[in-house]
Chains A and B, each alone.
Chain A
Amino acid sequence: GESVGLHLPTLSVQEGDNSIINCAYSNSASDYFIWYKQESGKGPQFIIDIRSNMDKRQGQRVTVLLNKTVKHLSLQIAATQPGDSAVYFCAENEMGDYKLSFGAGTTVTVRA
């Protein structure tokens, strides 16, 4: 499939502020999108997902926005905490086969 990419490779945010992580995808046929968090030396951890029939979905302290017109995905983290420091990946899938294509990743560093 086509690649999924991220706009910014790193993000530094003050503790307590909101974080916004962006992702651009190029496969217009993608219909399922997931955000993962990966800490050093560990596997990806599911954060939140969204299907293409939605444009917004909220979880605990996180919100995912999907703009299909410009093929853009974002993850918003409210009141960022030190434990949020990690690499964040967006992933996309089409056809429901769960063969995910991952973006390059954004490293989020939370300043105390």
Chain B
Amino acid sequence: GAVVSQHPSRVICKSGTSVKIECRSLDFQATTMFWYRQFPKQSLMLMATSNEGSKATYEQGVEKDKFLINHASLTLSTLTVTSAHPEDSSFYICSARDRRNGQEKLFFGSGTQLSVL
């Protein structure tokens, strides 16, 4: 089946640094990927939609200059948390839209736990 790979699985960084998270679709091309954030014991909140070859669309309240999204190829989207602060510590999850064979499915990555000190 389709697999979405997310890297790194865990990252610890100092306040003020930037962190890049990668999301790859391993056996299908994904023109659309999604980025979610999940705080402990809470649900997933959609941050933005990553569109291959065009700008990402951000949900209300999500700072586009803070969370930079690049979808430069059909299999890779990256989320960069710029100038990270402790309040950005969260579990970040990507998903990719698989539209092969006339059927649509959404597959999730395994998540990235970001801890900002």
Contacts and interface: CB of A to CB of B under 8 A. Distances in A.
Nearest to B4: A43
Contact of B110 (A43, A102, A105): A43
A23 B63 CA distance: 30
Nearest to B94: A43
A41 interface: yes
Interface of A: 34, 36, 41-46, 89, 96-105
Interface size class of B (residues with CB under 8 A): 20 to 34
A101 B46 contact: yes
B32 A98 contact: yes
Contact of B93 (A43, A96, A97, A101): A43
B62 interface: no
Contacts of B95: 43
A41 B113 contact: yes
Contact of B43 (A97, A99, A103): A103
B46 A41 contact: no
B52 to A, nearest CB: 14
B28 interface: no
Contacts of A96: 104
16 contacts: A36-B108, A41-B113, A42-B110, A43-B6, A43-B95, A44-B44, A44-B93, A46-B107, A89-B44, A98-B104, A100-B106, A102-B43, A102-B44, A102-B45, A104-B43, A105-B42
A98 B49 CA distance: 10
Contacts of B34: 98-100
Contact of B108 (A44, A97, A101, A105): A44
